[in-house]
């Protein structure tokens, strides 16, 4: 009976000691002697840290990291939604405004209050845009593959902006064709695309840079998801990889002067660049210029199979909502804290960008499964 009585006496004490409730823990730390070598009884931050560990248990760091991640996301979202002021006093130059992204962006920026300067390749494109926009939008003929044309556009812009400088330039002009197997190309086919997509971006940026530097403005370069994954032969992927590299180098060089460089990476959208008829005409032209030996190595049916695959891809993933791209461009120009890269389109976010982080053999296998096999492949 004596032994049983002792156990009954100790049991409530043990239960109270093992009680993990907040009041019990606080009472425990308050009653600890000041000289207790146990870190849990140390005053100040050590005691607070031990209380947190006892309350959260073994998953303390998980809870702390999760809280930090949530706070980081909230702060990022807050900063991402902050916009610049005095939009109506800012000038923006956009290239490639005859159709597509550039044309739509000019109209959006004009409605928002920017003073838009639109570079168009043709008179018809310039006239059509002026009729659809407000009086503040002005156009200038521009061929980005011609440095003299770029210089004239810069002189026109310099007169318009005066001492205010140029707030933003959007290097949107580009071409995609010819596109196809690399062996089908001639050197001139590569040069034609690089002259517009790569040299044009560099020429426009470097020529307009003094005006942008004066306004501490923005440079927005339109690359592509095919600047992250080389899925096609020809000069297009090469040029877009070059735009990515040039933009990264430029951003790191001039960020000291308050200039932001942003890269737009659209997925596949229904524009003149992805139109099937010109693509198929170019593929037929490339095929017809091949020697009989090269044609025989691919086989008579290869061209038809290749065109069929292109049709399936374009019809399956091309998005008709161009505002997904122009909204990224607009954010790059209006945000107080613009992003370094913008991925536009579901295929960019879910397919191409993830693929770009995978080992090369994954992309190689994927393309082999999709593309037709040459007749004399080994």
Q: Per-domain residue ranges for the chain?
A: 2-59, 87-370
Q: What is the pLDDT of residue 21?
A: 52
Distance, in Å, from the CA atom of 272 to the CA atom of 103, rounded to the nearest integer, reads 12
Give the confidence band of 43 by pLDDT, cuts at 50, 70, 90: low
Q: What is the pLDDT of residue 272?
A: 82
Comparing 65-69, 217-221, 286-290, 373-377, the range with the smallest average pLDDT is 65-69
**345 and 267 Cβ atoms separated by less than 8 Å:** yes
pLDDT at residue 372 greater than cutoff 80? yes
Residue 236 known to be catalytic: yes
Q: What is the pLDDT of residue 63?
A: 78
CB atoms within 10 A of CB 25: 16
User: How does pLDDT run across 179-231, given as a tens digit for each residue?
Assistant: 999 999 999 999 999 999 999 999 999 999 999 999 999 999 999 999 999 99
Distance, in Å, from the CA atom of 228 to the CA atom of 354, rounded to the nearest integer, reads 10
pLDDT at residue 95 greater than cutoff 60? yes
**Residues forming beta bridges with residue 219, ordered by sequence position:** 169, 261
Higher-pLDDT residue of 350, 66: 350
Q: What is the pLDDT of residue 48?
A: 64
Give the confidence band of 52 by pLDDT, cuts at 50, 70, 90: low
Q: What is the pLDDT of residue 66?
A: 87
Question: Quick one: average pLDDT of 105-113?
Answer: 96
Comparing 59-68, 204-213, 342-351, the range with the smallest average pLDDT is 59-68
Question: Quick one: average pLDDT of 9-29?
Answer: 49
Global confidence as pTM: 0.83
CATH classification number, 87-370, choose in 3.40.50.300, 3.30.565.10, 3.40.50.720, 1.10.10.10:
3.40.50.720
Q: What is the pLDDT of residue 289?
A: 94
Distance, in Å, from the CA atom of 123 to the CA atom of 150, rounded to the nearest integer, reads 16
Q: What is the pLDDT of residue 40?
A: 44
pLDDT at residue 57 greater than cutoff 70? no
Percent share of the chain, pLDDT over 70: 85
Phi/psi for 376 (5° steps) reads -105, 30
Question: Quick one: average pLDDT of 147-160?
Answer: 98
Give the confidence band of 49 by pLDDT, cuts at 50, 70, 90: low
Mean pLDDT of the chain, nearest integer: 88
**206 and 188 Cβ atoms separated by less than 8 Å:** no
**Residues forming beta bridges with residue 222, ordered by sequence position:** 264
Percent share of the chain, pLDDT over 90: 78
Distance, in Å, from the CA atom of 375 to the CA atom of 7, rounded to the nearest integer, reads 88
User: How does pLDDT run across 231-268, given as a tens digit for each residue?
Assistant: 999 999 999 999 999 999 999 999 999 999 999 999 99
What is the torsional sign of CA 118, 121, 123, 128?
negative
Higher-pLDDT residue of 269, 35: 269
Structure tokens at 170: 């959007």
Query: What torsion, rounded to 10 degrees, do the Cα atoms 130, 132, 136, 141 define?
Result: -30
CB atoms within 10 A of CB 204: 26
pLDDT at residue 127 greater than cutoff 80? yes
**Of the candidates 266, 260, 277, the residue with the CA atom closest to the CA atom of residue 332:** 260
From 53, 63, 236, 298, active-site residue: 236
Distance, in Å, from the CA atom of 115 to the CA atom of 119, rounded to the nearest integer, reads 13
Higher-pLDDT residue of 341, 275: 341
- Side-chain-facing half-sphere of 15: CA atoms under 13 Å: 6
Comparing 142-146, 155-159, 275-279, the range with the smallest average pLDDT is 275-279
């Amino acid at each position: 009976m004596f032994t049983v009585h002792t156990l009954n006496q100790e049991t409530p004490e043990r239960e109270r000691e093992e009680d993990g409730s907040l009041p019990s823990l606080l009472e425990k730390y308050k009653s600890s002697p000041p000289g207790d070598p146990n870190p849990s009884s140390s005053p100040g931050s050590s005691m607070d840290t031990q209380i947190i560990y006892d309350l959260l248990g073994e998953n303390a760091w998980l809870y702390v990291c999760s809280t930090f991640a949530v706070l980081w996301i909230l702060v990022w979202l807050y900063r991402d939604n902050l916009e610049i002021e005095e939009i109506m006093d800012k000038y923006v130059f956009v290239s490639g405004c005859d159709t597509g992204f550039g044309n739509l962006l000019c109209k959006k920026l004009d409605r928002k209050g920017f003073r838009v300067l639109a570079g168009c390749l043709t008179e018809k494109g310039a006239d059509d845009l002026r009729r659809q926009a407000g009086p503040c939008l002005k156009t200038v003929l521009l061929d980005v593959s011609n440095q003299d044309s770029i210089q004239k556009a810069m002189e026109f812009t310099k007169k318009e902006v005066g001492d205010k400088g140029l707030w933003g330039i959007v290097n949107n002009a580009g071409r995609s064709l010819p596109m196809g197997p690399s062996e089908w190309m001639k050197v001139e086919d590569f040069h034609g695309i690089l002259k517009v997509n790569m040299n044009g971006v560099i020429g426009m940026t470097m020529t307009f840079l003094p005006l942008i530097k004066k306004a501490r403005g923005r440079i927005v370069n339109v690359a592509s998801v095919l600047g992250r994954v080389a899925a096609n032969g020809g000069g297009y992927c090469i040029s877009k990889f070059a735009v990515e590299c040039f933009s990264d180098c430029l951003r790191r060089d001039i960020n000291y002067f308050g200039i932001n460089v942003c890269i737009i990476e659209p997925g596949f959208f229904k524009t003149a660049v992805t139109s099937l008829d010109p693509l198929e005409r170019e593929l037929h032209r490339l095929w017809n210029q091949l020697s009989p030996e090269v044609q025989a190595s691919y086989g008579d049916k290869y061209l038809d199979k290749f065109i069929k695959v292109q049709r399936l891809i374009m019809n399956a993933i091309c998005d008709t909502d161009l505002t997904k791209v122009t909204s990224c461009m607009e954010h790059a120009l209006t945000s107080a804290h613009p992003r370094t890269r913008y991925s536009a389109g579901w295929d960019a976010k879910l397919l191409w960008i993830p693929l770009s982080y995978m080992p090369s053999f994954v992309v190689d296998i994927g393309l082999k499964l999709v593309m037709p096999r040459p007749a004399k492949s080994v």
